[in-house]
Amino acid sequence: MSIILDANAPDGATSQNQGSDLIKDSSVETFVQDVIEPSMEVPVVVDFWAPWCGPCKNLTPVIEKVTREAGGRVKLVKVNIDENQELAMQLRIQSVPTVYAFKGGRPVDGFQGAQPESEVRAFYEKLAGGPIESPVEALLEQAAEALGNDDIQTAYGLYGAVLEREGENENDQATGGVIRCLVAMEELEAARQYVDDMSETLRLKAAVSEAISALELAESGVSSDDLDAARAKVEANPDDPQALFDYGMACFAANKRDEAVNAMITIIRTNREWNEDAGRTQLLKFFEAWGSMDPASVAGRRALSTVLFS
């Protein structure tokens, strides 16, 4: 690929004052200073985009994110082809988004079209010569561990830190985590307001919808204080589906997960149609609230399958 560029750009167009910037916009006048010269020392990724391009709006934030996480090992330059048609023609840009990587003053790699973050990360790691780890993933792991250990304030702060970096629409795991923390802190009104302010698209994402299920169960008004009374009703009337249902809800509130599952499974096994299949419906909400990989959810789904298909 030949590049025909004017190396004698006007003095006012130089980017020396921004030489340490990881992300910048460029033009035909400053392309040599922004891309060619820096690529002699560090790989420079060039994102060719256009304001009317839908896939560009998805790809550019991902590229910017991975560039920041690369910590200076790769730089990013963005070129609006509508404003730089001559440059786009020189580099034979036929569609957007198009991404080129420059090293040693020459393009060495590239791709076209929007790519998932995993592919963008792999592209950058090849340029950087090593892994590029996301601090967001580390924060999410720490937050999940803190939440699992009932260190709610720490988890809440960590999830909040992720959202400050990426925004709630960009990270559904952190958004769901915030809801779970608010529920654990018994800040149900704040959690409900947080959910009500969300877009419908965000609410439907798995991590968020599961957390909303936990909120809805907390809003049901059942508490662990009801456990002894509910257990007594089951012992007095073991075949009463309402008593079993109330006992299962109280077990959920008391975080007695296996007992909560067993109560609903008993309803499904003995009186499947009761209250419009309420036992199964509530059991599925338990699974969502705990998360699909929780041991109680895994065992519960296995038990449910056995009951339904035996």
Residues serving a catalytic function are 53, 56
Cα–Cα distances in angstroms (integers) from residue 60 to residues 28, 56, 85, 113, in the given order: 20, 6, 19, 11
Q: In a 3-state reduction of DSSP, which class is residue 25?
A: strand
Phi/psi of residue 109, each to 5°? -165, 170
Strands of 106-112's sheet in order across: 23-25, 75-80, 44-49, 98-103, 106-112
Q: Which of 261-281 are b and which e, b meaning 16 or more Cβ less than 10 Å from the residue's Cβ?
A: bbbbbbbbeebeebeeebbbe
| Tokens describing residue 296 | 């109680």
Q: Are 91 and 100 in contact (CB under 8 A)?
A: yes
Residues in the chain: 310
